[in-house]
Every structure is written in structure tokens, then in C-alpha cells.
Amino acid sequence: MPGASAGAIPLPLTFPVDLALTVASHGWAHLAPWRWDREAGILSRRERIGDRLGTIAIVQHDAATIAVSCDGFEAAAGPEIGRRVRRWLSADWDPAEAIAALGEDGALIGRGGGRILRCSSFYEDFVKTVLTINTAWSSTCRMAAALVAEPGGGGFPEPEAILDYGEVRLRERAKLGFRAPTVISSTRRMLADGAIDSTGEGRPDYEYLLALTGIGPYAAAHCRLLLHDFSRIPIDSAVTAYVRERHAIDPAGYAASRGAWGAYLALGYRLARLGEKLDATNIP
């Protein structure tokens, strides 16, 4: 690819969005098919649109726009490319209510923080959340790469491709282990219930997700977080260790002590962690 600025199309931003802060929000940018070039500030990934597989790359040169470049797609794909990029960055999310609820604790929102990197569909976010359950991050990375390489053929696979690949190959070749039946059964049910469409788009609520086999409070809350439901912190071992070491309380005590954040509890937590991360890495 000649570079993210070659023939780039500007994507205007209505609300403050900082690409680097969005990438730093969590680890999604390090899971295939994402690629993050921190030095150049280029975020890219392989995408399938219709019967074409190509690359979409974005870079930010100023606070008001994101420059979008693509390789392998025809001009007619432009609207869909723009839709996907806007989803990645939550570019259409209005932070006004969050700013009001969080006050000074939400200061990073004014810099374009507060957005958590999302994949091209809810389904991809869902599956990758499942890949984080009870495993090391290195294993999550390997599983994501395996799904992209085989059932995805270079891009992240859509729901029917996952079902066609099947539980046995998910378990044995993609090394999903106990997660394989969870992915298969959840995919089938969400499609049957209309909770997702054939492309993986959907907005299932917390209770629905919690009722899926193998999906507990952490995974359900994390999936909802990526749909801008910030009312619950997705509690895993890392969250528990952090609040105990940093605040000498458990997650329930942390939530109670931040009652003023209301429906933006999880966002306030994420911003606090992001601020500490920026301080530790000297990111301006």
C-alpha cells in the first residue's frame, strides 16, 4: 500500500476524536486483522466488502479530520468504507452527556479520548471478547490471527463463515478450545433471533448476551461497552487486581465510590486507566 495519505479522502469529525488515544484505549489494535504503526500514526486492516478483499488505512493530521485511504476497492465501496471507519472510532458518538456526568474525571474526552476502538461489526467485537476469556493475551492474539487466516481468508470472518468452519476446526485448528462451542452456539442463536444480521451488525442488550451459553457478566458487559453502554465495568482479573492495588477496595466498592459517574461508570474507569497509561508512557 503506498501510504495512508496517498489519494486519501478526508473524513470530517463532528466531535473530538483522537486516533492515538482511541487506539490506546485497549488492545484491539493488536489483534488481526488490525495493524497499528505507532511511529507513523497509521491504523489499517484488511477488509472484505462484497467479493473484494482490500486494505483500509487511516491517519490523523489534524483534530478535525481523519484521512482515509484504501487499496483493492472500487469507488462504489466508498460509503461502506466510511461507515466502517466511523464505527471503528465511534465518530458519531456525542460525548456531551458523558462530559457532564464525569466532570474533571472526563477531561480526556475534550482531547478526543473516551472512544474505545471498535471492530467493523458487533459480531467481530463479540467474538474477540470471547477470545479474551480465561486466557493470556498472547493466546488471544494467536486465536484472532487464526480466524483471520483460515475462515476469514485474510479478513475477519462473517457469522456464516464461522458456522461453515465449524466447532471442530475452531477448537483444533484455530485453537479456541472451550471457546469454540460458545462461539458456534452464540452465532447460531443470534442469527436465528435476529440479534445480528448476516454481516454481524446488531445491538443485543445485556440480558440477552448474558443468556447466551458461555457468556458471563464480564463478556456481556464488555460487548455492551463497545455499544456505548458504559453502565457496567467489565470485571476480570486485571480490573480486580487494579482496584485492590490502587484503591484497596474490591470492584463493587470501586463502583460504589464512583456513584457520581452514574451511567458512565465504565467510561470513567477506562479514562482513569488511560490517563495513567499516558503518564507512564509519556504520550503527549
pLDDT at 282 over 80: no
What's the DSSP call for residue 116? -
List, for residues 210-246, the tens digit of each pLDDT value.
Answer: 999 999 999 999 999 999 999 999 999 999 999 999 9
In our burial notation (b when 16+ CB lie closer than 10 A, e otherwise), range 229-258 reads bbebbbbbeebeebbeeeeeeebeebbeeb
pLDDT at 146 over 80: yes
Query: Per DSSP, what are the bridge partners of residue 45?
Result: 34, 56
pLDDT at 6 over 90: no
Q: What is the mean pLDDT of residues 262-273?
A: 97
Q: How far is CA 178 from the centre of its chain?
A: 22
Fold of 9-110: TATA-Binding Protein (3.30.310)
Write down the pLDDT at residue 5.
Answer: 45
Q: What is the pTM of this model?
A: 0.95
Q: Give the residue carrying C-alpha cell 492495588.
A: 245
User: C-alpha angle 65/69/74, rounded to 5°?
Assistant: 125
Name 232's Cβ contacts closer than 8 Å, sequence gap at least 6. 206, 217, 221, 224, 225, 265, 266
List, for residues 80-105, the tens digit of each pLDDT value.
Answer: 999 999 999 999 999 999 999 999 99
Phi, psi angle pair for 11, to nearest 5°: -110, 105
Indicate the pLDDT class of residue 1, thresholds 50, 70 and 90. Answer: very low
pLDDT at 199 over 90: yes
pLDDT at 4 over 80: no
Going from N- to C-terminal start, the domains of the chain cover 9-110, 122-225
Write down the pLDDT at residue 63.
Answer: 87
pLDDT at 284 over 70: no
How crowded is residue 198: how many other Cβ atoms within 10 Å of its Cβ? 10
Count Cβ atoms within 10 A of the Cβ of residue 93 and give its class: 0-12 exposed, 13-18 middle, 19 or more buried.
middle
Q: Residue 4, CB half-sphere, CA atoms under 13 Å: how many?
A: 20
pLDDT at 160 over 80: yes
Write down the pLDDT at residue 2.
Answer: 40
pLDDT at 3 over 50: no
Cell numbers that stand for 86 in this block: 466511523
Asked whether 39 and 20 are in contact (CB, 8 A), the reply is no
Asked whether 230 and 267 are in contact (CB, 8 A), the reply is yes
Count Cβ atoms within 10 A of the Cβ of residue 15 and give its class: 0-12 exposed, 13-18 middle, 19 or more buried.
middle
CATH of the domain spanning 122-225: 1.10.340.30
Q: What is the mean pLDDT of residues 194-203?
A: 98
Write down the pLDDT at residue 279.
Answer: 80
Specify the length of the chain in residues. 284
Q: Are strands 65-71 and 52-62 parallel, antiparallel or unpaired?
A: antiparallel
Indicate the pLDDT class of residue 280, thresholds 50, 70 and 90. Answer: confident
Query: Which of 18-22, 224-228, 275-279 is predicted least confidently?
Result: 275-279
pLDDT at 17 over 90: yes
Q: How far, in Å, CA of 271 to CA of 106, rounded?
A: 7
Indicate the pLDDT class of residue 283, thresholds 50, 70 and 90. Answer: low
Phi, psi angle pair for 221, to nearest 5°: -65, -35
List, for residues 35-70, the tens digit of each pLDDT value.
Answer: 999 999 999 999 999 999 999 999 998 889 999 999
Q: Residue 25, CB half-sphere, CA atoms under 13 Å: how many?
A: 27
Q: How far, in Å, CA of 183 to CA of 176, rounded?
A: 9
Q: What is the mean pLDDT of residues 29-36?
A: 98
